[in-house]
Structure 1
Amino acid sequence: MRTSSGSATALPRALEPALWLLFALVWFGSLGYRGLIHADEGRYATISLFMLHSGDWITPRLNGLLYFEKPILQYWMGAASFAAFGVNDFAARFWPGLTGFLTVALTAFTARRLWGVETGRYAALAAGSCAWIVANSHFLSLDMGVSFFLAAALCGFLLAQRDGASPRDARNWMWLTWAAMAGATLSKGLIGLLIPGATLVLYSLLNWQWAFWKRMHWLSGLALFFALTAPWFVLVSERNPTFAHFFFIREHFERFLTTEHKRTGAPWYFVPYLLIGLLPWTTLLPRIVKEGWADRAAGLRVGRLLLIWSVFIFAFFSKSSSKLPSYILPLFPALALLLAHSFTRMAPAALKKHLLLPALLWLALLAAWPFVGRFASVDSPLEVLQPFAHFIAAGAAVFLLGAAYAWFALSRGKMLAAVAALSFASLAAVTLAACGHDSYGRLKGSKEIVAQIQPYLTPDSAVFSVRYYDQTFPYYVGRPVTLVDFVDEFEFGEGQEPQRWLPRLAQFPARWLAAPRAVAMLTDDTYQLLKRQGLPMKVIYQDTRRMVVAKP
């Protein structure tokens, strides 16, 4: 095996496993450092925790109310993680962390099988350092899980249809593809079928290749897909007759076609997330697009397929009327494969110029460190921003050291060493910055709040959330809270079970007075309104955004 510059790249036997071990320690070691934050992390942790508590593994509930916006797989995995590791922040984030790690490993394995050992190493380094893969693997949402299954579907298809695959290998890899699409469907719905299917249709139309459609193992594949997905959809529909309309019509077609969910954005909404998310390899994007489209292999044109996959995901979610930054995450493993293939054909000197942009960005963050006070405000005080800035500065320093070594290695023609240095530096820098967010994230979570008010949370305490709701509050309290005059995403659940909440603020004083003990989270405006009405309340916690009161 040889590098693009012609020098041998044999590694000491123990080095590659040691690097994987180091990668795993950094990757998983930081999962539990930060407290959970509003909204996604608290939402999905709460659903999983109360699923474990209730023993109902079919009907998902958010804060005790029916919640049918997403399928079940993420909640199962979260509940299983709590059962295995206990109720803690590491367990809450374990599933996205695990699926992110598996995405990196799967990308490396696929590149190795398609193009050789060297390319597999580059694929691991490219995927494991991509800022958007690293960040989303350490944040509790649905997107890393669905991205992993979509990556598995893509990689399974590439391995099944590659030149030289035996009939048995082709069948097994296609079965993996069908199973992965089932996993994606159970993670986030119909995009588990739409994205792979639309990509293949577009690929066939643009390249006029249709032969692989006959090698899809349709009968056994569809049987496997429905055997994995149908049981839960049938059971949840039997127990909840309103599920099918809400999930398939409202959460798929209306979400895509209307602005009901208030997550609109310009057509270029995802451009900055693509450019930032691909760091430290952003400036290589034009090169990999050009090289990928130039793929004119006689069989499956892997480069073109990876590009079509990426462009379709980007265009599809750009067209959607509901946008969130992490929606384009499934395109990054495909770009990592293109990057890996490009590294093997690139002269070390050619990579040098691509170190400049990420180095300058991290240098700018380091230079801004002494001036963090200028960004302080009432909602984001200096005592919150300063620790965050320290972590970012430390991450910037680590990255710049890695970039300096990469430059030195490239000067000596050591391509693999340079890519490895830059990759681990990027992983460390993004991880440190994410850890630093904890100081700011405390304003968007309830971990410290619940720790301070714990003496007031007896088993018979009534817990309310009045005209305000922090998704992490019921998770850290360990029980559902009664919502008062708050709707938002609970509209469906509150409509189905009106006895579980108080729709009007006027109903709250009577419930408060009737409870033997009670605590409530609310804003200062609501507190002042209730105080003028003479409701007895004792302030037991307050920050710039919310407060907690107890019944005296």
Structure 2
Amino acid sequence: MSADKSERHAAFLGVPPWLALLLVLVIFETGWIGFAIGQPPLLPDEPREAAIALEMAQSGVWTMPTLNGHPFVEKPPLPYAAAALACGLTGSEATGTLRLPQLVASLAALAAVFALGRRLGGAAAGITCALLLATTVEFFRSSLRLAVDPELLAWTSGAALATVEWWLAERPSARAGFWAATCACLALAVATKGPVALVYHGCAALGLFVFGGRQGIGRLPLLFAAYLVSLFPLGAWALALYAHGGWDLVSEALLRNSWGRFARAELGHKAPLWFYLKVLPVVLAPWTLLALAGLGTAWRAAREADTDRGRATVLRTALGWAAGSLLVLSLSAAKRELYLLPALPAWTLLAGAAFIDAARAPRLEGLPRFALLTTLAALAGATVAGSFLLPRQGHAEAALLVLPALLFGGLLAGAWRSWPALGSAALFAGVALAAGGAAPWLMERDSARGSIDAARSALTQAASRTDRVYGVGLREREVAVLSLALRRTFTELADLEPLGGPDAPLAQRTLVVSGGSAPPVLGPRLLERASLEGTGSAPLGAQRLYFSTLVKRE
């Protein structure tokens, strides 16, 4: 049965393919949001992002992110301002409130991918691409993370959509409108993560110019103009930084953080050149094979002059966006899996093109068909293994993974001859069930590695009985956790030497917090001025936070 016949058969059953897919998407997204939105912040980054946003909400200074009262200029202020605004509008400082900008951004990215995917074959194709994005490992894991990258994902996707429509528009007024929309999305992307945000869109545009012929060359000046316009928010922030801290603060933000991260990995995350080739299969799972097969599909469509213009434009954009971003990010000195998130829509559009071709092909005809059948076999095997292994680790709910395993196996058997009616909806429903069965285990694993609950609770309790708090030799993540626990600024010291002196006087009751693998040694000079009332510690990642309560001697 061909794909066209399958669609007619599905419509005859009274369930249009796009409607069944939309139902699966809505149910999956609703469950995912309900499960993830209120999860506590996890190491290494979320406590810091939460602390900065809450400080901004308290101070009302929207142009200067701060951590414990000190300027924090690794990233522009827009993401923190969005979280602070959410707190102000709702009157809540809960973690779920702080995640609202990420939630809106993730839904916006799905909407943009749907709009781009429609160019590949109608509403069903668009929802298929959105589902492919929603069910990838990296999107599921990172799109509600307290980080700037989910918002960058939304603005990058919006800019790519606006650029595609600008490229395809025939009326001058439409072209002008979509060019303005491209400028707006790029400006917001730059205001989210700095000039590096233009890399993703530049790679997407490169795909259009490489295959666009003379039409592409003629639009090059307008694209450069859009990039110049997008830098205006960054210039305004630079002026605010200069007014606050002079050229040193501007240099810290724009040179050390933006250029320094790319060229020298000054702030960490240094990795070898092949890092992304190693992690890409996991990031794209379970659609890795389909995404890789989509590279060939896009390459052929991009080079064919007689192909559908809208489909070819989307695939050219996706090809440049995916392959170009992978190349540029590999050349960067600083590397993280999270940096692939803004390029994830491109890979899912490629996977969507391969999926559509696979659904139309019989048996093992062509690489996309082979990729689809192999993916089904891998999903069936993985869920069967999970249904047996995870219950032994105390997750009885994982036994339900046998249900999607049976569904994947049935799809594999039925799809051997041709793709069945409503097969796409059944496939994504199975993936949603598998994600639901594995989610508690994944959350427990992440919490064991990155939970701050024990440290935050212990610090809050200890600080409630003291008048002054000092942090001694704390790293950035420890400063963030202490800031979240106290909900006020505290004094940071490099070591214990000045404690008790004129620069760091003791209060009647003083809390001293330090990090590391061993508690600090309080010297005799300090103990002459204060008695040690109590000590404690709490786990924080691979190390611990140590705290001592000192009572000033009369």
Aligned to 1:122: 128
**Corresponding residue of 1:359:** 380
CA contact (8 A) 1:445 1:473 kept: no
Which residue is equivalent to 1:312?
324
What is the deviation of 1:460?
6.0
Q: Which amino acid aligns with 2:493?
A: L
Residue in 2 that maps onto 1:34: 39
Q: Report the Cα offset of residue 32 of structure 1.
A: 3.3
Corresponding residue of 2:543:
545
Query: Which of 72, 75, 78 lines up with 1:70 in the alignment?
Result: 75
**Matching residue's letter, 1:211:** Q
> Of the candidates 496, 508, 516, which is equivalent to residue 499 of structure 2?
508
Distance 1:363 1:472 in 2: 41
Indicate if the aligned counterparts of 2:109 and 2:157 stay in contact, CA closer than 8 A: yes
Q: Conserved in 2, the CA contact under 8 Å of 1:150 and 1:330?
A: yes
Q: CA deviation at 1:231?
A: 3.3
Q: Give the whole-Å Cα distance in 1 for the aligned partners of 2:436 and 2:483.
A: 24
CA displacement, residues 39-71 of structure 1 (integer Å, 9 cap, x when unaligned): 210111111110000111111112221111111
Query: What TM-score results when the alignment is normalised by the length of structure 2?
Result: 0.82
- Structure 2 spans left out of the alignment, 5+ residues: 364-368
Work out whether 1:450 is the aligned partner of 2:450: no
In structure 1, how many angstroms separate the alpha carbons of the residues matched to 2:15 and 2:391?
A: 43
1:250-279 deviation digits (Å, cap 9, x = unpaired): 112222121423322222211232111212
Please name the residue that 1:209 is paired with.
213
**Contact 1:446/1:476, CA 8 A, preserved across alignment:** no
Contact 2:532 2:549 in 1 (8 A): yes
Q: Following the alignment from structure 2 to structure 1, what is the Cα–Cα distance between the partners of residues 465 and 533?
A: 19
- Structure 2: distance between partners of 1:57 and 1:231: 12
For residues 314-333 of structure 1, the aligned pairs below 5 Å read: 314-333=326-345
Q: Where does 1:123-522 land on structure 2 (aligned, <5 Å)?
A: 123-162=129-168, 165-201=170-206, 203-204=208-209, 206-207=210-211, 209-215=213-219, 217=222, 221=226, 225=230, 228-241=233-246, 242-295=248-301, 296-298=304-306, 301-347=313-359, 349=363, 350=369, 351-369=372-390, 393=398, 396-397=401-402, 399-404=404-409, 406-407=411-412, 410=415, 415=420, 417-427=422-432, 429-430=434-435, 433=438, 435-440=440-445, 441=447, 444-452=450-458, 454-458=460-464, 461-469=467-475, 470=478, 472-480=480-488, 482=490, 500-508=491-499, 514-522=506-514
Higher relative contact order (CA 8 A, sep 6+): 1
- The 1-side partners of 2:444 and 2:409 are apart by 30
Is this contact kept in 1: 2:408–2:430, CA < 8 A? Answer: yes
Partner of 2:366: none
Closer/same/farther in 2, CA of residues 165 and 508 from structure 1, 3 Å limit = farther
Q: Quote the offset at 1:505 in angstroms.
A: 2.3
Deviations 1:216-256 (A, max 9, x none): 75698468535655433333333332232112211122221
Corresponding position of 1:485 = none
Q: Is the alpha carbon distance of 1:238 and 1:265 closer, same or farther for their aligned partners in structure 2, counting shifts above 3 Å?
A: same
In structure 2, relative to structure 1, the CA distance for the partners of 1:19 and 1:443 (3 Å cut) is closer
Q: Which residue identity lines up with residue 450 of structure 2 in the other structure?
A: K
Residue 109 of structure 1 corresponds to: 115
* Cα distance change of structure 1 residues 401 and 261 upon mapping to structure 2, 3 Å threshold: farther
The answer on whether the counterparts of 2:113 and 2:130 sit within 8 Å (CA) in structure 1 is: yes
User: Distance between the aligned counterparts of 2:443 and 2:521, measured in 1?
Assistant: 32
Q: 1:468 to 1:24 in 2, by over 3 A?
A: same
Is contact 1:537-1:549 (8 Å) kept?
no
Matches of 1:521 and 1:89, distance apart in 2: 24
Q: Name 1:495's counterpart in structure 2.
A: none
Extract unaligned runs of 5+ from structure 1.
373-385, 483-499
Amino acid at match of 1:522: S
Amino acid of the structure 1 residue aligned with 2:238: F
Contact 2:469 2:512 in 1 (8 A): yes
**Offset from partner CA, 1:366-399 (integer Å, 9 cap, x none):** 4443665xxxxxxxxxxxxx5xx667x4685565
- CA–CA distance in structure 1, aligned partners of residues 261 and 544 of structure 2: 30
Paired AA for residue 3 in structure 1? A
Q: 1:471 to 1:255 in 2, by over 3 A?
A: same
Cα distance change of structure 1 residues 481 and 246 upon mapping to structure 2, 3 Å threshold: same
Worse-matched range after superposition: 70-79 or 20-29: 20-29
Q: CA deviation at 1:540?
A: 4.4
For 2:411 and 2:105, how far apart are their aligned partners in 1?
29
Change (3 A) 1:236 1:409: farther
- Whether the 8 Å contact between 1:48 and 1:78 is mirrored in structure 2 is yes
